[in-house]
Structure 1
C-alpha cells in the first residue's frame, strides 16, 4: 500500500515538476489577475483559457467553462502578462548546440518568449526553424546575419554582395557594427532597401547618427551616435577621445539638439533599443566585484566572469575615465530615453545579453528597472517588451497583448508589475509555444545551468 501511495503521488506531482506539452489539451489559468497590456489596467479574478497555442477565452472566473481534461493552473492572487521580448540578444555564433541551448534556457526561465539575435551565424537559421516547430525549447527567434563592419566590408561592392547573400540565406535583419566608411555604409543601405531587408544595430563614427537616420535604420541600438551627434565639432575628434557610445564627450553635448534628434527619429520611424543595462553595468563607476557577486552570475562560466571583471577594471583604469563625468553621461542617456518616450519615438526592450555583467534573461529585468529609473512608468516600460515589439514586427494582430485569438506566450507572476516593475522577476510559470513551464521546472533547469 505504501509503494502504491508513493506511485500515485509521483503521478500526481510529475506534471508540476516537468514541462507539459499541451497538444490539443486546454490550459486554464484559474482566478488570475490579467495584465492585458492593451491599456494600463488589471482584469481581476479571471479565467484565461488557452488551446493549441491561442487564447480562446478571458472571462470572469465564475462564468468560464472548459473541458474536463484541461490542465488547470491555480493562479488566485497572481498576475498574468504577455511574454517579454529581448530585442538585443546574443545567441552564441558557434556550431555547437550546447551553449546555444544554455542561452535559450536562460531566456525562457526569465519570461522572455521572443528574442532578436544580434550576431548571426548559419546555424541560427536552423535553430530558428526548430524553435518554431517546437523541436527545441526556447523563445521565438528573429536573427540578424553575420556582422557588417570595417573588417568584413572593405569596398562598397563587397557590402552590396553581403546584403544579397544574407537576404537569400533567409536572415531577418542585417547587423551593422562600427568601422563602416560612409561609402561602404551607403552601399549596404542602398542594397538593403533594394532587396527588402532591414538593417539594425550600431552607427559607425564616420557615418554619424544624422546620416544613419536619413538612411532608414530599422532600429538604432545602444543609443549609438546619439551623444556624438549633439557634440559641436565632433568631426575633428578621433574615436578614442570620444569613447564607447560617446562616454567621454557627454559633457560637451548640446542638449538643445535633443528635440531635433527626437523629431528626426520619429519622422523616419527609426526604433530605439537603448540597452541601458549595458551602460549602467559596464560603463558605470560601480566596482566590478560588486557586479561579479550578483546572484545570476552563477550561470556564467568562471572564465567569462573573469573576462568581464578585467574588461571593467581596464575601463576604469583608463586616464580618460572620470567617475563624476561618467555619472553625468549615464544621466544624459536616461534623459534621452525619457525624451524618446515623451516624443513618441518607438522604444524596444533590449539589454545585450550575454555581454559584460549582463546574463541572458536576467539582464532584461535590469533593463526594465533602468527604463523606470529613466522616467518611464512600469506600464510604459513593459510596453517596450510587449506591445511595441508586436508593432515593430508587424504582428500586432497576434502578439503583444492578452486578447482572445492571439498567441498564448504568457508569463505568470507573483505580484503586479504595474505597481512594481521588480515583480517581473518573480515568475511562477511560462507558457510558450503550447508548453507550460511551471516554476518548479524552471528552477530545475536553472539548477542545471549553475557553473
Structure 2
C-alpha cells in the first residue's frame, strides 16, 4: 500500500512539474512573440500639424479638392481650407500628392500583431475581425488604449452554429436557451457583435436574435443553410457575408432565379450590408490554375506561418486533388467567380450597401494585399473607382456607429487617412503603396510602413499562434 501511495505521490509531483514546464514554455513563447512586435508600440501623442497644398479625395462625392490645406489636431481633422497659416504648427508639404480616407477591410481573420502593421502598410485603417477569440479582446484593449499602431479594430464573437454543424472553429449551440446565454456572455466579454454561422436552425437563430436585440448587439451572418436566405433580412442582422452564398442559396448555382430580383431589392430596402469576399473565392481558381507555383509567390510570405501550414494547406490539398478527378472544376469555379462580379454590379446599381471584405487570413487571401484585389474586382465588375472606394470608406461608416467618424475627409472626422502619389479616383491601385498613412492623427512615414511590411514577412511565430488558437478553441 505504501509503495502505491509513494508512486501516486511521485506521479503527482511529476505531473505538476510537467504542467509547470509547459506553462513556463507558453509564457516565454508569448512574451517572445510580443517582444518581436515591439516596433508597433506607439511613441507618445501626435502634435498638431498642417499638410499643405494637398489634393483631397473627400469621398463626400465623386470630386477632388485641389491644392488644399488640412489641419490635424488631437487625432481629428480640425480644419480644411485653401490656405491655413500658423507658424507655430508643424507643416508637411503635400504638393502633388493626394489624401484619401483610410480603407476598411470588413471581413478578415487576424492571427497576430504583425498583421496590424501589415494592414497599415497597405492603407487599411479599419478592420472587422470575423472569428473572435480571447486574444482578440486583449488586442482590442491595447488598440483602444493607444499603446500600439493599429487600425480601428472591431471583432466578432466566436462563430455560433447549430448542434449538428460540427467543427473546432465553431461554437455549437445546443438549444435556444444556450443561444441567449452566449449572446449575453459575449457582450459582457467585450465582443463588438455576434457572428452567426451556416448551421443555425430557426428556433436557436430566433433566440439569438431576440437576445441580441435586448443586449443592443448586432449580428453579422454567414448565411445559415437551415433557414431561407430571406430570413437574414431581419433585425438585428446588420451584414450578410459572401456573395457565393447568394449563388448557392438563391440561384441554386444557376444563372438566374425569380428570387434574385427580390433578394437584391430586399438588400436595398433594408439597408443591410453585404460583404462580397470575392478575393478569397478567387483563390480557389488560383490554386487550381497555378498549383505549386502559387506557393512560391512572394506574397505568400506575409501569411501567418501556422495558418499557412494548416488552413491554407488544407485548401491547397482539397482543390488540387479535386482537379485530379474532375478536370472541369476550374471552369466551374471561374464561371461562379464571374457570377459574383455580376451580382456585385447588380447589388450596387440597385442601391445595396456593399462593404469591401476579403476574408484575408483564410486560404491564400493575404492580409493588407487582399483589399486592393477586392476593389480591383469591383471595378472589373463595372463599378467606378469612386463606387468601389465607397465600399471601403463611406459604407462601413453607415453600418457601425463606432465607425461613424471615419470614411470621409471632413472637419471633425477622425484623422485616418492615406497619402498617395496618384489620384485614387483615377488609379485605384495607388492606394496599395501609400506615401504616408495617418492613424488617429499619428503620422506613419513611408520608411515606417516599409518596416511594418518587412517585419511581417516570413515571421517566426508558429507556436505563439498555435497557443492562441488553442485558447480560442478551448474557451469559446
- TM-score, reference length from structure 2: 0.80
1:410 paired with 2:417, answer: yes
Q: What residue is the counterpart of 2:185 in the other structure?
A: 165
Looking at structure 1, the residues matched to 75 and 423 of structure 2 have their Cα atoms a distance apart, in angstroms, of 24
Looking at structure 2, the residues matched to 27 and 255 of structure 1 have their Cα atoms a distance apart, in angstroms, of 55
Q: What residue is the counterpart of 1:388 in the other structure?
A: 395
Q: Which has the larger radius of gyration?
A: 2
Q: In the alignment, which of 270, 281, 289 is matched to residue 283 of structure 2?
A: 281
In the TM superposition, residue 313 of structure 1 has moved relative to its aligned partner by 4.2
Paired positions, count: 407
Q: What residue is the counterpart of 1:258 in the other structure?
A: 260
Q: In the alignment, which of 428, 434, 444 is matched to residue 435 of structure 2?
A: 428
1:130 paired with 2:142, answer: yes
1:143-222 paired onto structure 2 within 5 Å:
143-150=155-162, 151=166, 152-214=172-234, 216-222=236-242
User: Which segment is superposed worse, 394-403 or 37-46?
Assistant: 394-403
1:25 paired with 2:25, answer: no
Gaps of 5+ in 2: 1-38, 167-171, 459-476
Partners of 1:176 and 1:200 within 8 A in 2: yes
In the TM superposition, residue 201 of structure 1 has moved relative to its aligned partner by 3.0
Looking at structure 2, the residues matched to 261 and 230 of structure 1 have their Cα atoms a distance apart, in angstroms, of 8
Q: What residue is the counterpart of 1:312 in the other structure?
A: 316
Partners of 2:115 and 2:456 within 8 A in 1: no
Q: In the alignment, which of 294, 298, 301 is matched to residue 295 of structure 1?
A: 298
1:37 paired with 2:40, answer: no
Looking at structure 1, the residues matched to 89 and 250 of structure 2 have their Cα atoms a distance apart, in angstroms, of 61
In the TM superposition, residue 340 of structure 1 has moved relative to its aligned partner by 1.0
Looking at structure 2, the residues matched to 347 and 18 of structure 1 have their Cα atoms a distance apart, in angstroms, of 31
1:227-258: CA deviation from partner (whole Å, max 9, x where unpaired): 23334xxxxxxxxxxxxxxxxx52x3534432
In the TM superposition, residue 390 of structure 1 has moved relative to its aligned partner by 1.1
Q: State the superposition RMSD in angstroms.
A: 2.4
Gaps of 5+ in 1: 1-16, 93-99, 232-248
Partners of 1:288 and 1:313 within 8 A in 2: no
1:338-372: CA deviation from partner (whole Å, max 9, x where unpaired): 11101111011111111111111111111111111
In the TM superposition, residue 67 of structure 1 has moved relative to its aligned partner by 3.7
Quickly say closer, same or farther: Cα 1:67–1:293, change in 2 above 3 A: farther
User: Which segment is superposed worse, 18-27 or 364-373?
Assistant: 18-27
Looking at structure 2, the residues matched to 309 and 324 of structure 1 have their Cα atoms a distance apart, in angstroms, of 22
User: Which segment is superposed worse, 42-51 or 32-41?
Assistant: 42-51
In the TM superposition, residue 69 of structure 1 has moved relative to its aligned partner by 4.5
Q: In the alignment, which of 84, 99, 103 is matched to residue 103 of structure 2?
A: 84
Partners of 2:72 and 2:79 within 8 A in 1: yes
Q: What residue is the counterpart of 2:116 in the other structure?
A: 104
Quickly say closer, same or farther: Cα 1:255–1:287, change in 2 above 3 A: farther
Looking at structure 1, the residues matched to 63 and 281 of structure 2 have their Cα atoms a distance apart, in angstroms, of 32
1:136-192: CA deviation from partner (whole Å, max 9, x where unpaired): 221111111111023421222111211111122232100112222232222222222
Partners of 1:139 and 1:432 within 8 A in 2: yes
Partners of 2:285 and 2:334 within 8 A in 1: no
Quickly say closer, same or farther: Cα 1:415–1:327, change in 2 above 3 A: same
1:392-435: CA deviation from partner (whole Å, max 9, x where unpaired): 11367622111111111111111111112111112111111231
Looking at structure 2, the residues matched to 165 and 375 of structure 1 have their Cα atoms a distance apart, in angstroms, of 43
Q: What SS is found at the alignment partner of 1:218?
A: strand
Q: In the alignment, which of 337, 349, 369 is matched to residue 356 of structure 2?
A: 349
Partners of 2:303 and 2:367 within 8 A in 1: no
In the TM superposition, residue 106 of structure 1 has moved relative to its aligned partner by 1.2
1:75 paired with 2:94, answer: yes
- TM-score, reference length from structure 1: 0.84
Partners of 1:125 and 1:171 within 8 A in 2: yes
Q: What SS is found at the alignment partner of 2:289?
A: coil
1:43-83: CA deviation from partner (whole Å, max 9, x where unpaired): 111222211111122222xx32024351x332221110011
Q: What residue is the counterpart of 1:245 in the other structure?
A: none
1:67-112: CA deviation from partner (whole Å, max 9, x where unpaired): 4351x332221110011111112223xxxxxxx2112111111111
